[in-house]
Amino acid sequence: MFDDFFLRALVAGIGLAFVTGPLGCLVVWRRMAYFGDTMAHSALLGVALSLLFDLNVMIGVFLVAAVIALSLLLLQRRGALSTDALLGILSHSTLSLGLVLLAFMPFVRVDLIGFLFGDILAVSTTDLASVWVGGVLVLAAIVALWRPLLAGTVSPDLAEAEGLQPERARMLFMFLMAFVIAIAMKIVGILLITSLLIIPAATARRLAGSPEVMAVLSALLGAAAVMAGLFGSLRFDTPSGPSIVVAALALFLLSLLPFRREDRRPQGVRS
């Protein structure tokens, strides 16, 4: 009924949504949306360095994003600038460095639009395996780190007192973000990754009554946005990646309708 490339895109997008849903909840709870943008923007520098040194693009993007995460932690400890100022510097400088570096490599043909906005319809069987295998690993890590991450979100001092090592959990969480950005870049692109992390989680926040329910609901809403976006893209001949984000936005707007008397938030998580 559907071509193979469309089915691969559908399966890859759903697999990615199952990962970005729970991860996005942690991003929303920790108010780290700008951090997600910074990590995503650094992906272009990872692409440029990968092409320059003939590395696998996914590995290059992960390494650069991980270095940016560590740099942010070190700069925060120095306390010279506020976190949002540091994120602004890292975000725009890495994106600009990537573009400048690509301009110095005229011998390399780069589909810049594809990297920025993704091309989920070009997902190969290898990409599909990377998304699902990597997704399973990320979900297993989230389950293992769930308690220290959640406790560190509510009260870092209390989590430290209970021996949950919230700083270590935070650093591992940043590495998970870097890994997800590396596997998601080809599907939704550098500029749209944060949208898939934030919008389904923000939608689930209005509907869920506990952190665990919110994480599951966010994954399901992300999968629904992927399906609606891809079928909408097929029907109206629109770009697939942006169509997925628009579908996620539509679900969020629906959640704002006054059909509930009160806005439920996950218990134990600060607004």
Q: Is 103 exposed, middle or buried (0-12, 13-18, 19+ CB in 10 A)?
A: exposed
Condensed to tens digits (0 to 9), the pLDDT of residues 27-63 reads 999 888 888 889 888 999 999 999 999 899 999 999 9
40: nearest Cα among 187, 203, 252, 248: 187
Residue 67 has pLDDT above 80, yes or no: yes
pLDDT grade for 263, boundaries at 50, 70 and 90: very low
Condensed to tens digits (0 to 9), the pLDDT of residues 69-93 reads 898 888 888 877 788 888 889 999 9
10 in Cβ contact with 184 (< 8 Å): no
Residues 13-16: contacts with CB under 8 Å, at least 24 apart? 13/120, 13/187, 13/223, 13/226, 13/227, 13/229, 13/230, 13/244, 14/223, 14/226, 14/227, 15/128, 15/131, 15/132, 15/135, 16/131, 16/135, 16/183, 16/184, 16/187, 16/188, 16/196, 16/222, 16/226
Condensed to tens digits (0 to 9), the pLDDT of residues 145-189 reads 999 999 888 888 888 888 888 888 889 999 999 999 998 887 888
What integer is the mean pLDDT of 21-26?
94
Domains in the chain: boundaries: 4-255
pTM attached to this predicted model: 0.88
User: What CATH class is the domain 4-255?
Assistant: mainly alpha
